[in-house]
Amino acid sequence: MSTVPSQEEYLIRGHNGLETCVILSEDGFLGKRKFMEREVLKDVLRRFNEGGVRYCLVGGLALAHHSIPRQTQDVDIMVLPEDLPLVQGLLKGHEQSGTAAVMIYQIGETRIDIMPANLQGKRTAVLEAIDDVIEELPVRVASLRDLILLKMWAIPDRPEMAKRMQDETDVVGLIEMNPERVSAEDITYICGSLLALAYTPEDANKLRDQISWLNDILDKLGMTDRQYQLT
């Protein structure tokens, strides 16, 4: 099994992964504008906590919890569909645009993407989210297993090659930095959840290709005992 540096080597001293990501995003890059304001982020999540919104952080912030923190341009939050009216009330006045897949809000420099957990695997990600903190504020974050699944879901439908490759890199990094936390049962759950999305033969072939790619990554990382057996 490959040996990689620990996450701690990539953290800003005295801060966890989430806080490091927020600091990198708030400070901007090479003098350019900031992408996030920590007090805005904390205020929104505090409102969610106090309002009883069932949510979990996904995207760049969740990645920072489990892997190498990096600058992120927005806050991605997955919410149970039945709690969306609560979110709309709490963020009223900051609406930007929205679709069935995402509602976009802008508060100052902070863009917040709210995504409904409208599939069983996404709902599970919210209900089984894990705890973390941002400067002592309790927050909920997608688990490692569920974040890998969400990334795997997104990859085939990415129209931009760069974003597709970034998602693939993220999946590799999540597994490589946490080999002891990715079990055969996790891989079975991830792959089974992917295959459950296949409504057409074309979908099935696309998702099987994704699973074959994941098996190849597991092989390269010395984790063949956790590969999913495609039939």
CB of 57 within 8 A of CB of 141?
yes
Q: What pLDDT shows up at residue 1?
A: 45
Beta bridge partners of 130: 141
Question: How confident is the model over 67-98, as pLDDT tens digits?
Answer: 999 999 899 999 999 999 999 999 999 999 88
- Distances in Å between the Cα of 154 and the Cα atoms of 30, 46, 84, 129 are 30, 28, 22, 19
Domain ranges of the chain: 1-142, 143-231
Q: What pLDDT shows up at residue 203?
A: 87
Q: Distance between CA atoms of 158 and 180, rounded to whole angstroms?
A: 29
Question: How confident is the model over 169-195, as pLDDT tens digits?
Answer: 999 999 999 999 999 999 999 999 999
Beta strands in 23-173, from DSSP E residues, in sequence order:
55-58, 75-79, 95-98, 103-107, 110-116, 130-134, 137-141
The CATH architecture annotation of domain 1-142 reads: 2-Layer Sandwich (3.30)
Per-residue pLDDT for 126 more than 90? yes
